[in-house]
Structure 1
Amino acid sequence: MNMVLVSISNWTGFTPVMSLTEETMFLLVAVCSLMSAPVLTGPIADSSYVAAVYEHKVIVPPVSNVSRAEALQHIQKNLDIYEQQAAEAAKQGAQILVFPEYGLSGFYFDRSSVSSYLETIPDPQQENWNPCLEPGKYSNTEVLQRLSCMARSNNLYLVANMGDMQPCPLKTDPTSSCPPDGRWKFNTNVVFKSDGQLLARYHKYNLYKEPYFDVPPQPEIITFDTPFAGKFGTMICFDMFFHKPTGILLDKGVRQLVYPTAWVNFPPVLDSVQFHRGFSLGANVTVLSSNLRFDKEHIGGSGIYTPFPSTYHHATEGDPEEGKLVVARVPVLDPMWRGESTATEESTSPTAATSGACQHTPDPNPEIASSVPPSSDTFIVSLIDDPYTFVLLNKTEDDLKVCNGTFCCHLQYKRSPQAGSEELYALAAFSGTHTIVRTLNLQVCALVRCAGSDFTSCGQPVVKAESKIDFTLEGKFASKRVYPSVMTSKNVMEEPQNLEMAADGRVTMKHSNMSGGLISASLLGRPYQMDEECTGE
């Protein structure tokens, strides 16, 4: 297979589990190689665990409007693959395994056709249930039963994504958000203990082009404890962008996240491995990210990301479309690890949800301190339908500054003249409201390779590059949630050599001695307080 499987080995204690015969030596070090990065709370001494994520080439239904029996027949085909991968992960020592969003059903449904794929999932906060040992307790729970037995037979914690259908009070409460058919239909994560017990259930709060599913009446903040690594939080795909639930999980100190996703790649700033790795580094958390492999919709890229080195998989152009299991030994990051095994659930009211980051007051003039004036050669180009302000890199080395409104980005760079001299690069800035699918606010500083020799190609997707650039990229952000990334040729992520996040919102990323040509380097900020969700509307 011509696949990209990368382990960044700056931290000697982080080792991918590569084969059944390879013995993994885990030596925990107290000092990360990012000595000049912001202070990161390190892993607990002598504590690690083996995690696995599976990037699944989903088998989609031939037709969407089918009976329950036909839906189950289709789901079983995907479950057969899950069964094989769970056994393989267990052989490699995995203690927790994460499967992707929509991995069992595929998509392309409407509200009626999705019903055959749903099961009514009991609330594990209200009762204890082991579907594998008690299959007759609830009817129409064949998928839950098989997932439960999968966890039990392989002795691992298992996270999967499926659809949940719950009754709602249509007649008793006409003012509720209950749909006309009297059923809520939720995009849902389920978590099983290694003995098969249903441990946690989470309903996705931030839907992305999913008209057949409902937004739950209240956001759910779901965590669960494990005996090998302490506490994990759970979220789904588009949730990663929002304060509810992700920002609340971070504010509560949850540092390990299981993350089923069907992430559509939007390079040069929102490719899956790029953003998920940057999220891990910027938020100082571990993310077990399991993505679908579905080339038709540009979906792919999975990984096990930590604030230290990460292990991930991202197929490149021409690779066969197939699944991939990623297994790695990672450090325990939960500082309150007690070895207990219980799940907790907390619902947040609108008032509670606007606390913390949402009450932060942005700097009215968040420009960086620099004597470099904005270039008169700036131009506007759409990047993922947002109007970014660009300035070209026209010299071998230079200081540049570009502003989008009052938000400014500063770049110092030195470009290697030996290779890629014909490649065009630009510095970009954006601060504003992104409105595709859902309103959210972004602040972005990005150094990108343009797709062609004309400035209008800046911001378009690029896969390969030859130019190696030493740079310092800086911006002053109206949020503490800023996610850094450096992506090089063929979707290879590099570790920033220096990352500084100051209390005033100033973020500085430095990098040099690249191993591959630069595709993009970015700092992406999420000022939650600017979103409509944080105004209580």
Structure 2
Amino acid sequence: MISFPSSWHVLLFILAMGPRTFALDTYTAAVYEHSVILAKNPLKPVSSEEALKLMDENMDVLEEAIKSAAKQGAHIIVTPEGGIYGFGFTRGTLYPYLEDIPDPQVNWIPCTDPERFGSSPVQKRLSCLARHNSIYVVANIGDKKPCNSTDPKCPGDGHYQYNTDVVFDSDGKLVARYHKFNLFMIEQLQYDSPKEPEPVTFTTPFGKFGLFTCFDVLFHDPAVTLVSKLHVDTILFPTAWINVLPHLTAIEFHSAWAMGMRVNFLASNIHLPSRNMTGSGIYAPDGSRAYYYDLESMNGHLLVAELDSHPSRSPSYLPSVNWSLYATTVETFTQDYNFTGSIFFDEYTFSELHNEAGNLTVCQKDLCCHLNYRMTEKREDERYVLGAFDGLHVVEGEYYLQICTLLKCGSTDLQTCGEAVTTAHTHFDSFSLSGTFSTNYVFPEVLLSGVRLAPGEFQVLSDGRLISQNRTPQPVLTVTLFGRWYEKDPPNSHTHSIIL
């Protein structure tokens, strides 16, 4: 009888069990907020060599972030939309920055076979960074695809060009390519939208991943489809997000989307404080694991944190929520004098919180918002309102919203309610916010003074209430239930008018 050393027994067992042996219950994620180096004049045509020089400058910075993340044990790193060549181009001046990015089914490692699909210096470098550091690398670049007159939608210059996310695995292999579907305004002058949304997924030893880009997060496809039908564990989200208070700052909305969709969410933003662009994070369904928001520093920032590979199997996984259950069964609270005000060009119905504690109801169309609250102290120099909006948002895109929000006004003048506010002094001992939502897609937001999140300080109940866990550790800017009623979006809502 032949006796094998114990190590041989282990090896044979591993070979027999296959790749499932290497499945991880948790993994380490990284996102990098990049202070992108922009073209000096993006409207001026440049050569391919000049374009590559700018991209190499940005990739030099990204390389250091990737190496640092790998040294900290990260399995995957996400970098921002526009992080390699920036933005502000015309369709023509963008072209030298683009490469032909093949379908990942071709089984290609650009690091070891860089010329297989023509000149691909950017893909080669990204592939090598992934391979040499044994880390998955997610980046945003541009793809070009030739077309001809047999294609009735072929652009006049004879090619399509797409805002594209790519993923290289730890061997440097191209494993995912996603063409952005929902282009944001002026992007339509630079890029083409694919004919249909592309729900892109890939599987790793630490979960199933999906990816989309920036403005996509506000629409059903491909974002919701990835979670509701394809059951991904983690969303990868390169973005160039411009913060809009009170409801659409990056950290606020992206963490809320993770909680509302009950999925991990890795958001990497551009860092350009002069354009109000900051806010990246590593978010789990039960709250943020790490986030960054800084309009003062001019430097990039790396975040690293651990996540569950399959959050739906975690003991802390949120139960499914019936967002209207509580609100449709309670008696309407006393309604005070209502007035209208504007938030991001939408007309809300508001009611002021006159007392230190109380119950309040505000309605608009089919949406009634209920609030039960207690302030630590009712200050004379700050005013708070409960607001409701049920309607179609039509600025910078068209999408139907149902929103219940408790928020601080800009001053003691009620006409400032809905303005951008970054600081407050009022603490709440408790709050409970709910609404008669007609949609199952509601994203819970809590934002504190200084534009800070409140992980662990609030909870969503299965009956649709957003409640405080404790006295708020910092004063409150807003407590919001941000609902998206996708079925009421206009047809072709992913195609948006361009406002110049």
Name the CA shift for 1:216/1:46 in 2 (closer, same or farther; >3 Å). Answer: closer
Name the CA shift for 1:46/1:119 in 2 (closer, same or farther; >3 Å). Answer: closer
2:87 aligned with 1:107, yes or no? yes
Write the distance in 1 (CA, Å) between the matches of 2:492 and 2:97. 34
Structure 1 residue aligned with 2:319: none
| 1:519-534 matched pairs, under 5 angstroms | 519-533=477-491
2:159 aligned with 1:178, yes or no? no
Write the distance in 1 (CA, Å) between the matches of 2:120 and 2:24. 40
* Paired letter, 1:300: T
2:375 aligned with 1:407, yes or no? no
What is the percentage of aligned positions where both structures have the same residue?
A: 39
Give unpaired runs (5+ residues) of structure 2: 1-22, 315-322, 496-500
Structure 1 residue aligned with 2:467: 510
Shift of residue 500, structure 1, vs aligned partner: 2.0
Contact 2:268 2:281 in 1 (8 A): yes
Aligned pair partner of 1:381 in 321, 341, 350: 341
Structure 2 residue aligned with 1:313: 291
> Relative contact order: is structure 1 or structure 2 higher (C-alpha 8 Å, sep ≥ 6)?
1
2:73 aligned with 1:93, yes or no? yes
Shift of residue 374, structure 1, vs aligned partner: 3.4
Aligned pair partner of 1:416 in 376, 379, 388: 376
Aligned pair partner of 2:307 in 315, 323, 330: 330
SS at match of 1:268: coil
Write the distance in 2 (CA, Å) between the matches of 1:416 and 1:156. 48
Contact 2:408 2:421 in 1 (8 A): yes
Structure 2 residue aligned with 1:460: 419
**Would you identify which runs of 4 or more consecutive aligned residues in structure 1 move more than 6 Å?**
334-337, 534-537
Give unpaired runs (5+ residues) of structure 1: 1-44, 338-361
Structure 2 residue aligned with 1:200: 176
Name the CA shift for 1:372/1:223 in 2 (closer, same or farther; >3 Å). Answer: same
Write the distance in 2 (CA, Å) between the matches of 1:479 and 1:473. 16
Aligned pair partner of 1:81 in 52, 61, 73: 61
- Give the alignment's Cα RMSD to 1 decimal: 2.2
Name the CA shift for 1:410/1:333 in 2 (closer, same or farther; >3 Å). Answer: same
Contact 2:281 2:288 in 1 (8 A): yes
* Paired letter, 2:393: H
Write the distance in 2 (CA, Å) between the matches of 1:493 and 1:468. 14
* Paired letter, 1:415: M
Structure 1 residue aligned with 2:431: 471
* Paired letter, 1:329: E
2:353 aligned with 1:393, yes or no? yes
Contact 1:368 1:476 in 2 (8 A): no
Q: How many residues align?
A: 455
Alignment TM-score, normalising by the size of structure 2: 0.87
SS at match of 1:289: strand
Deviations 1:64-99 (A, max 9, x none): 122211111111110000110111001100010000
SS at match of 2:237: strand
Contact 2:181 2:494 in 1 (8 A): no
Deviations 1:117-137 (A, max 9, x none): 111101112x11110000121
Contact 2:207 2:233 in 1 (8 A): no
Aligned pair partner of 1:434 in 388, 393, 398: 393
Shift of residue 497, structure 1, vs aligned partner: 3.2
SS at match of 1:480: coil
2:55 aligned with 1:55, yes or no? no
* Paired letter, 1:179: P
Contact 2:447 2:453 in 1 (8 A): yes
Write the distance in 1 (CA, Å) between the matches of 2:201 and 2:170. 16
Write the distance in 1 (CA, Å) between the matches of 2:200 and 2:24. 27
Shift of residue 536, structure 1, vs aligned partner: 12
Write the distance in 1 (CA, Å) between the matches of 2:422 and 2:467. 22
Write the distance in 2 (CA, Å) between the matches of 1:527 and 1:315. 29
Write the distance in 1 (CA, Å) between the matches of 2:103 and 2:138. 16
Structure 1 residue aligned with 2:129: 150
2:107 aligned with 1:131, yes or no? no
Shift of residue 389, structure 1, vs aligned partner: 1.2
Structure 2 residue aligned with 1:262: 240
Structure 2 residue aligned with 1:70: 50
2:332 aligned with 1:371, yes or no? yes
Contact 1:421 1:467 in 2 (8 A): no
Write the distance in 1 (CA, Å) between the matches of 2:260 and 2:333. 27
Shift of residue 264, structure 1, vs aligned partner: 1.1
Indicate the structure (1 or 2) with the bigger Cα radius of gyration. Answer: 2
2:149 aligned with 1:191, yes or no? no
Structure 1 residue aligned with 2:14: none
Write the distance in 1 (CA, Å) between the matches of 2:410 and 2:39. 36
* Paired letter, 2:467: K
